């Protein structure tokens, strides 16, 4: 990454009920927020609003592959979500394998003795951070 000329990046962990959002700036990934899912139009509008507010040039969306690396029903749902997002967002949208990011985030939170109620509030954000860190690491290579 060059000295500060790159735009911030948003990463999304899109789930059935919630969307975890992380922001990447200067090569670092930070948790941002958790959006409760309502409907695709409003979900996309909320994401685009965050992207504009943060001046994000790229949105990275986690691609839920199976453990064997194949695409499943969840991947098809994300394909449809990304298609809606692409119509509303004029920046770059990239996909990245998100296998085990939520499980890894849960493990970290349990290890830190975070209560179940608090875990529910931040696990999606941490999964988004994991997605973003994977994307950033690939860009560095």
Residue 37, domain CATH: 3.30.420.140
CA 77 remoteness from chain centre: 15
Residue 2 maps to a domain: no
**What is the pLDDT, as a whole number, of residue 104?**
66
Residues of the chain with pLDDT under 70: 1-5, 66, 99-106, 109, 119
> How high is the pLDDT of residue 2?
41
Domain count, the chain: 1
CA distance 92 to 85: 10
How high is the pLDDT of residue 70?
73
The answer as to whether 3 is a domain residue is no
Residue 136 belongs to domain spanning: 9-140
**pLDDT of 72:** 74
Q: What's residue 5's pLDDT? A: 44
pLDDT at res. 89: 97
Q: How far apart are CA 81 and CA 86, in angstroms?
A: 9
Note whether residue 1 is domain-resident.
no
- Residue 139 CA to residue 62 CA, distance in Å, equals 16
CA angle 114, 43, 86 (to 5 degrees): 120
Does residue 4 form part of some domain?
Answer: no
Which are the contacts of 11, defined by CB distance < 8 A and separation ≥ 6? 21, 22, 23, 24, 29, 59, 60, 61, 62, 128, 129, 131, 132, 135
């Amino acid at each position: 990454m060059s000295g500060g000329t790159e735009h911030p990046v948003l990463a999304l962990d899109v789930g059935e009920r919630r969307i975890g959002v992380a922001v990447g700036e200067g090569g670092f990934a930070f948790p941002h927020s958790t959006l409760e899912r309502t409907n695709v139009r409003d979900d996309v509008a909320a994401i685009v609003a965050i992207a504009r507010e943060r001046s994000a040039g790229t949105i990275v969306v986690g691609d839920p592959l199976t453990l064997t690396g194949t695409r499943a029903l969840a991947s098809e749902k994300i394909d449809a979500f990304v298609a809606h997002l692409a119509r509303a967002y004029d920046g770059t949208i990239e996909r990245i394998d998100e296998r085990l990011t939520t499980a890894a985030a849960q493990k970290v939170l349990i290890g830190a003795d975070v209560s179940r109620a608090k875990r529910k509030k931040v696990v999606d954000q941490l999964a988004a951070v994991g997605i973003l860190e994977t994307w950033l690491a690939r860009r560095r290579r």
